Amino acid sequence: MKILAIETSCDDTAISLAEYKSPYSLAKNFKILAETVSSQEKLHAEYGGVFPSLAKREHQKNALPLLIKIAGSLNLKKTKNLANAEKGIKLGKILERNPELSEQLAKFLPKYQKPKIDKIAITIGPGLEPCLWVGVNFARALSFYWDIPLLGVNHIEAHLYSCWLTPKPLPKFPAIGLVVSGGNTQLALIKKIGQYKLIGETRDDAAGECFDKTARILGLGYPGGKEIAKWAAKFKKPAYNIHLPRPMLHDKSFDFSFSGLKTAVLYDFKKRDNKTKSSENYISEMAKEIQDSVTEVLTAKTIKAAENYEVKSIILGGGVSANAKLRLIMENECHKRGLACFLPDPQYTADNASMIALCAALSPKAKNYNWKNIKPRPNLKING
């Protein structure tokens, strides 16, 4: 079974081709044949976060070139121009929201034979709606033109299983899953593959969003998570008596809240003189305290959930799971309690299409859709 997967939920355009035999023997039977991604990180740096209309434009521009990039693995074979007026009209209607992409595909598709793939998997949510629409419409167009079935994939669920894009034993269930990124912070009880109960989520800012906003306050670059981690690593000794809150650390729920942390950073920053604000010592001390606050809260809540539900494994996913401090303390806390801790390879913590392909192969929640009726679900939850 070969799956072509497409991911456009935020600011990375990604395409992957994978094949599998038995979805439950992942180390042996799931294989990535080709994967490619186009990052918009530099484009959004001046905004300190993702600018949706710009992201949409870049997805439209990058989707087909990325497909062409893996044309060899797809075994796309040129043919005589097979332009079909009726197909062309339908293609235009499918892509009426994406005129640039429509024009590209109208020229490209008639020149090639249908590739030998069995499914097309597409992220349907959660994510930024304008971005999701580009990917969904691109997948719809390919599904229609090539007559290949569509699978809709939950982006959060895919992050949970990104650990197994590099060979690992499957976890013992039940497990606790933490997906933490720029747009999402969700804690789920995983009863088995495809069965989830959402037990906690952020009430305001996601952890990655908090990193972005606090980095912007300090005058650091984007994405904030990388910048905060980089400056935290420069910390030598305390000099400014910075003590940030650990939001909702002792709250009985498994929810998170990071907007207050951002506000505390802003208040501390405003009370400092200009010389202090620009000093490396202050920035590194503040960055360390921000990182400590976020990672301590994430770990404590996750471990608390693991103990409450008496699980055997903890699984991390999402961009913030690349943070070395979070990985270290989560592994240490799991080791103390005899819990298995599953972390994705750093290269698969960010949004990627290979995790979408894996989720399509692995999860019974990956739903079959007709190209006529699939739509994005920007607010989709892990249990949706």
pLDDT tens, residue by residue, 293-347: 999 999 999 999 999 999 999 999 999 999 999 999 999 999 999 999 999 999 9
Cβ partners under 8 Å of residue 223, min gap 6 = 41, 182, 208, 211, 212, 215, 319
The pLDDT value recorded for residue 28 is 63
DSSP-assigned beta bridge partners for residue 122: 6, 152
pTM (2 d.p.) = 0.94
Mean pLDDT of 147-170: 93
Going by pLDDT thresholds of 50, 70 and 90, the confidence category of residue 25 is low
* Residue 23, pLDDT above cutoff 60: no
pLDDT tens, residue by residue, 211-231: 999 999 999 999 999 999 999
Distance CA 64, CA 140 (A): 13
Q: Angle at CA 25, nearest 5°, toward 24 and 29?
A: 120
* Residue 27, pLDDT above cutoff 80: no
The CATH code of domain 172-344 reads 3.30.420.40
Distance CA 163, CA 183 (A): 19
* Residue 80, pLDDT above cutoff 80: no
The CATH code of domain 2-159+351-369 reads 3.30.420.40
* Residue 22, pLDDT above cutoff 70: no
* Residue 147, pLDDT above cutoff 90: yes
Mean pLDDT of 55-67: 96
Q: Which residue has the higher pLDDT, 174 or 47?
A: 174
The pLDDT value recorded for residue 135 is 97
The pLDDT value recorded for residue 277 is 96
The pLDDT value recorded for residue 41 is 85
* Residue 50, pLDDT above cutoff 90: no
Q: Which residue has the higher pLDDT, 48 or 200?
A: 200
- Output the furthest CA–CA distance in the chain (Å, rounded): 72
The pLDDT value recorded for residue 85 is 78
HEC-encoded secondary structure of the chain: CEEEEEECCCCEEEEEEEEECCCCCHHHHEEEEEEEEEECHHHHHHHCCCCHHHHHHHHHHHHHHHHHHCHHHHCCCECCCCCCHHHHHHHHHHCCCCHHHHHHHHHHHHHECCCCCCEEEEEEECCCHHHHHHHHHHHHHHHHHHCCCEEEEEHHHHHHCHHHHCCCCCCCCCEEEEEECCCCEEEEEEEECCEEEEEEEECCCCHHHHHHHHHHHCCCCCCHHHHHHHHHCCCCCCCCCCCCCCCCCCCCCCCECCHHHHHHHHHHHHHCCHHHHCCHHHHHHHHHHHHHHHHHHHHHHHHHHHHHHCCCEEEEECHHHHCHHHHHHHHHHHHHHCCEEECCCHHHCCCCHHHHHHHHHHCCCCEEECCCCCCCCCCCCCCC
Domain ranges of the chain: 2-159+351-369, 172-344
* Residue 5, pLDDT above cutoff 80: yes
Does 172-344 match 2-159+351-369 at the fold level? yes
pLDDT tens, residue by residue, 228-267: 999 999 999 999 999 999 999 999 999 999 999 999 999 9
Q: Give the Å distances, CA to CA, from 122 to 13, 223, 274, 354, 365.
A: 12, 25, 48, 11, 13
From 26-30, 220-224, 348-352, the region with the lowest mean pLDDT:
26-30
